[in-house]
Every structure is written in structure tokens, then in C-alpha cells.
Structure 1
Amino acid sequence: MTEKRLRILVVDDEPQIRKLLKVSLGAHGYEFDEATTGADGVVRAATFKPDLIIIDLGLPDMDGKDVVKAIRDWSQTPIIVLTVRDQEQEKIDALDAGADDYVTKPFSMGELMARMRVSLRRAASSETEPVLSCGDLVIDLVGRRVSVGGREIKLTPTEYELIKVLAQHRGRVLTHKQLLKAVWGSTYVEDTHYIRVYIGQLRRKIEENPAQPRYIITESGVGYRLMCHN
């Protein structure tokens, strides 16, 4: 019995981008479908039933963020958005709208494929695992314990909640607003200084070299990502 090929839907109005992705993804064994407008992208997402969707934010008929929102109304399929490098607020808005990750144009296929693998792996794994492993970093959700290299780390309740949220979405960038809402609640979504303080404290406890973190990575101006080194 042949293994099911994973399906990728690309929503982008640039023919050269679609051609590049069609050839590259096909060479990696993915099944490919495409749409050139946001409206068609929403329809194709429903009919093609992709395992992952790649959406350009600059579409001719509607904003890519609105496509993300429309799909999120009925689907939790992983979504990666394509943005131009200087659109920091666009990245934040797309992630807050429900995108899982972003890749900046011009992008390398290696970077895009890595982001895709992380998103697909996360979608396939259960979010209710009792123990979350990220390289040497282990978070025991039942015992509320955190260890690095077998050594237990003493965390405050807030530090624990922050590392737990990052670990539950490991590999994915979380915006300041998403982290604040998850850890402190919706009344704190503008208080980004909380995040900086607690991330600094976590790094001092978890990272071998807090100035050059391996686990908690800053996505400049956007948020943070927990990277696993398995």
C-alpha cells in the first residue's frame, strides 16, 4: 500500500512563485494545488482538503490575512504566510489572525521546507501529551516540572506557564499578544514589558548562554519561538 502524499495548497498571484513551489514541492513528494486569488483559495482549501496551506499576504482581490481568518472559521489546517521582509506589523497581524508561521520574501526553499515540516509535525502530534520534549528541555505537564539535561529547574508559576505555552507550540512563532493572552489573560495584551522580563528570567534558568539562546529565540518585533534541537 502506498503512503498517502501530503497535499499543499499555494495561494499566490505570482506565476513564478507558484511555478517554483510546484516544481520544488513535487520533487519532495507533495501533492500540489494552487489558487491565484483569496476567494479561490478559500474554495480550494475546502475542496482540495490540503494538509498545509501557503498564502501570500498581497493578493489581488483581498488581504491574505482575511483569507487566513476565513479558513480559520472552519479549519485548523496549518497555514504559512509569505510576506515581504519589512512588513513587521503584517506578520504580527497574520499570526494573530490564525497563521501558524511566516516566511519572508525572497525566501529559500530550504527555509520554507523546514517551516513546513515543523507545522506538519505539530499538526500530527497531540497537544495533550503529558510530557513535552524539546531536545534536552523536558516539560512534565502532569507534575508541572521542567528539567534541562536531566537537571530540574526551579520556576515561578508564571515562568512555568510561559515555557509551557511556548513548548505546546514548539517551533511556531508566538506573538507578544498571543503569549500575554495565554499567560496573563486578555486584559494584559498590551503589556509587552511583562514578556521581556519573564523571557529574560527563563533564559537565565534554562539557557547555557542566555545572551546566545538555543531554545527561546526572539523573532524581532514579532514575538518568540521555542526551537528544539533533537
Structure 2
Amino acid sequence: MGVSDAETAGYGGEVPQLLLIEDDPQVRTALVRALSERGHAVATADTAMAGLAQAVESRPDLVVLDLGLPDLDGCRLLRMLRGVSRVPVIVATARDEESQIVEALDAGADDYVVKPFGASQLDARIRAVLRRADDQTGPEPVTVGALRIDPGAREASLDGRALVLAPKEFDLLHYLAARAGQVISKRELLTQVWQTPYGGADKTVDVHVAWLRRKLGETAKQPRYLHSVRGVGVKIVDPGA
């Protein structure tokens, strides 16, 4: 599975348990050393399938994922992982094209950092993602009209009918529903839902809103729950209020 005894710390306890999926041995060794010095226990895998198996078997607190893996593209691995696990994932890669960043975040990544980066920056991002994951433990379900969102179970329903949502669709719907009646700017949504505080594509928000509308059985011309405010942002409302 591409894991050496020197690079692996057993999962368990209060020390953050990380899984690093990285095929470059020099990068892998350097990151293991740097993250271990900063208080993390780090296990490693050097292929996508080895990483997937280890993530399922060992259930780490967070995965650091390179996209350029020898056996499978990292984004495809991320989608496979999201099908079986909610473990937080930080993509750490040399790919810096906006389209690839958007693809990875839409596939379920919690954060994205471009190589080269400092170990302190990666450590800070890991701690931030783990804090967000802790904050999402056991939250109360949110109800807006006949729409119900359970963030703990990551389940949503409308009129008692389950909605089948992609990870970012669910995150967007929950963020808006938790702030029902408030107009949320696209910049805030990109920052809070996509974790892209330094800018991103407004079209990413527009596309996901369009997908959500379709699943909620409404259109932009005849909205019920999701309303766009031109030049400002998006809000969710109770259509019966």
C-alpha cells in the first residue's frame, strides 16, 4: 500500500490522524517530517487505490491528497472517496488552473493548496479544516417551509421526499437555509462554501444554484425557495411565509 513504518503513525487518540496520498517520495518524506513536527500523526500512501483502501480501513481525521497520482487521477479518487466517506480532504497539488481548482472543490475537496507551499501554511489549513469539521458535529436540522436539511446526516428532503444532492450542492443549500431570508453575496458563498477567500468564479455559484433549483422543482423565472437578487447575491425563503 505504499506505507513505510518510518512514515506511519497509528490512528487513534487525540493527536490529529492524517493520511497523505502523495507519490513523490521526496515530497512525501518532507511533508511527513514537517507535519509530525507540528503535532500530527501521519500515515502515507503512494497510489490512489492504496490511499482509498487506507482511508476506508483506518478512518483518518483528514486526507491530504495530491492529484497527479500514477494509477488514477486525484479528482476521480476524490469522487470515489466521497461515495464512501465524509473525511475532510485538502488537495495539495502543482495544478493551479482555475478549472482544475473548481473541479476538485466540486468533487468534494474541503480546501486546495498549490505547490510549492510552506509546511506552516499547510498546517494552518489542516487546523482550519479540522475546526470546521468539529463545528459541524451534531448540528441541529434546519427547516425552511417544507424543506428540511440535516447537516449531521447530510440529508435533505422536500415535502418528505429525499433530495439527491452532490456534496457542494448540499453545502450551498445548508449555508443558505441556515440564513433564510438573508441575501448572501456570491463572494461570501465562494469563501464559506467553496473556501476560496482569494476569489473564484461567480459562475460556480450560478451553476450550483441552477442545479439546486432543478432539484427543488423550480426555475429562475418562477422561483419558490431560491431567489437571486441582481448584483447582490442569493437568498432562500419560505414560499408560504
Query: Does the alignment reach a TM-score above 0.5?
Result: yes
TM-score, normalised relative to structure 2: 0.60
**Structure 1: which amino acid aligns with 2:85?**
S
Percent of residue pairs identical:
35
Q: Does 1:197 align with 2:231?
A: yes
What is residue 179 of structure 1 aligned with on the other side? 205
1:12–1:59 contact (8 Å) kept in structure 2: yes
In structure 1, the gaps of 5 or more residues are 131-138, 145-156, 202-230
Measured in 2, the distance between the counterparts of 1:158 and 1:183 equals 16
What is residue 14 of structure 1 aligned with on the other side? 24
Measured in 2, the distance between the counterparts of 1:158 and 1:182 equals 18
Number of residue pairs the alignment of both structures matches: 176
2:89–2:110 contact (8 Å) kept in structure 1: yes
Deviations 1:117-143 (A, max 9, x none): 11100001137479xxxxxxxx9x878
| Residues 59-208 of structure 1 mapped to structure 2, 5 A cutoff | 59-84=69-94, 86-126=96-136, 128=139, 157=181, 159-160=183-184, 165=189, 169=193, 172-173=195-196, 176=202, 179-180=205-206, 183=209, 185-186=211-212, 197-198=231-232
Shift of 1:14: 0.5
TM-score, normalised relative to structure 1: 0.63
**Structure 2: which amino acid aligns with 1:159?**
V
Measured in 2, the distance between the counterparts of 1:111 and 1:67 equals 24
Shift of 1:172: 2.1
**Structure 2: which amino acid aligns with 1:26?**
S
Shift of 1:88: 2.2
CA RMSD of aligned residues (A): 3.8
1:51–1:77 contact (8 Å) kept in structure 2: yes
Deviations 1:85-141 (A, max 9, x none): 5332211111111111110011111211111111100001137479xxxxxxxx9x8
